[in-house]
């Protein structure tokens, strides 16, 4: 058996996050004949070949599953699809955007932007040129 353990940050209020997980479970249940049930903040699901749960935390969703023999061969595909659905359904908090003002105040010289320019086709040097732009 192969296992899946995926953690995904979110910034939704718990009731909205629970509704998003419920919507995903309903869609999967109707498509793949899967049974599911809530136990507190955990949604447990199973069907032939897979058994797992989705734990809904205040800032994180965790999907764990045990795949049977046949689905083990598709583990990568299953994980990719889980990640895609989580990214689609949950509002992700952008930590990098929040840190930029602090970083600029702390060390403005470490921030820069690189611009790539294409040189003329007849140039006898590297066709790619970089130029640093500082603000």
Q: Which residue has the higher pLDDT, 4 or 92?
A: 4
Distance CA 43, CA 37 (A): 6
Given the DSSP bridges, would you call strands 128-133 and 113-118 parallel, antiparallel or unpaired?
Answer: antiparallel
**7: domain CATH number?**
3.30.310.50
**Residue 66 and residue 109 in one domain:** no
Domain boundary among 74, 89, 104: 89
* Mean pLDDT of the residues in the chain: 76
Query: Are residues 52 and 24 part of one domain?
Result: yes
- 50 and 8 in a single domain? The answer is yes
Residues 113 and 64 in one domain: no
pLDDT bin (cut points 50, 70, 90) of residue 82 is confident
pTM for the full predicted model: 0.64
pLDDT at 134 over 60: no
Domain identity same for 103 and 77: no
| H or E element in which residue 48 lies | none
pLDDT at 103: 58
Domain count, the chain: 2
Q: Which domain does 99 fall in, by range?
A: 95-133
Note whether 51 and 78 are same-domain residues: yes
Please report which confidence band the pLDDT of residue 131 belongs to, taking 50, 70 and 90 as the band edges.
very low
Cα 121 to chain center, whole Å? 41
Which pair of structure tokens corresponds to residue 68? 């049977």
Cα-to-chain-centroid distance, residue 68: 24
């Amino acid at each position: 058996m192969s296992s899946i353990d995926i953690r995904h940050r979110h910034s939704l209020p718990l009731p909205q996050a629970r509704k998003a997980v419920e919507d995903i479970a309903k869609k999967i249940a109707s498509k793949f004949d899967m049974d599911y049930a809530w136990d507190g903040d955990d949604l447990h699901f199973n069907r032939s070949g897979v058994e797992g749960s989705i734990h809904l935390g205040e800032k994180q969703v965790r999907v764990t599953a045990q795949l049977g023999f046949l689905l083990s061969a598709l583990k990568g595909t299953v994980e990719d699809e889980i990640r895609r659905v989580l990214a689609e359904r949950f509002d992700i908090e952008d930590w990098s955007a929040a840190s930029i003002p602090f970083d600029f105040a702390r060390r403005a010289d470490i921030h820069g932007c690189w611009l790539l320019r294409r040189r003329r086709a007849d140039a006898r040097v590297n066709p790619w040129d970089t130029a640093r732009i500082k603000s």
